[in-house]
Amino acid sequence: MVIATHPDQALRMLADPTADEKRLLGAFTYSRNPTVLHTDTSLLPRSPKARASWNYRMTGCEPSTAPVHVSYDMERLQRLPAGSGYVVTLGGDTGIAPDRVVERMVYEHPVYTPASVAAQKELPRLNTGVTAYAGAWHGWGFHEDGCRSGVEAARSLGVDW
């Protein structure tokens, strides 16, 4: 069986976790990130030529007090028709015109700490041949990391892909 949830969710699902499962799955924490789908393109660089798929904006110079926004230009990322103006912004709704908001979500992202990075190296110990774990938290939190961990989980259960 492959458990492909976040590690804190996996730990809550286990009726009788082993010491290694408690220690290694418990080493990962997640941050909750308010996310807004909207059409306020003022969150992107003014010049379309300066726009990237991911665009960050700091509302001040001090990172500890000024929230950082990351805005995804969905037109570019999803090849939407020019002018549709869809943007996904992480990090709060400061500066987003309320009448341009389409949907609000909350997503969770893994927080990388020395303890979680050290735990990653030991994750293969959790694969018993009966259960295995998968998810982007096995790597740096990207799609490719999730995919690679799924292949590894299958391999630990005797399936090559």
Which residues of this protein are in contact with ligand FAD, per CB under 6 A?
A: 4-6, 9, 13, 35, 88, 107, 135-137, 141-143, 146
In the complex with ligand FAD, the residue whose CB is nearer, 67 or 146, is 146
> How far is Cα 73 from Cα 59, in angstroms, rounded to an integer?
19
In the complex with ligand FAD, the residue whose CB is nearer, 7 or 65, is 7
Find the shortest distance in angstroms from Cβ 5 to ligand FAD.
Answer: 4
Find the shortest distance in angstroms from Cβ 136 to ligand FAD.
Answer: 4
In the complex with ligand FAD, the residue whose CB is nearer, 11 or 157, is 11
Find the shortest distance in angstroms from Cβ 3 to ligand FAD.
Answer: 8
In the complex with ligand FAD, the residue whose CB is nearer, 46 or 79, is 79
Find the shortest distance in angstroms from Cβ 105 to ligand FAD.
Answer: 8
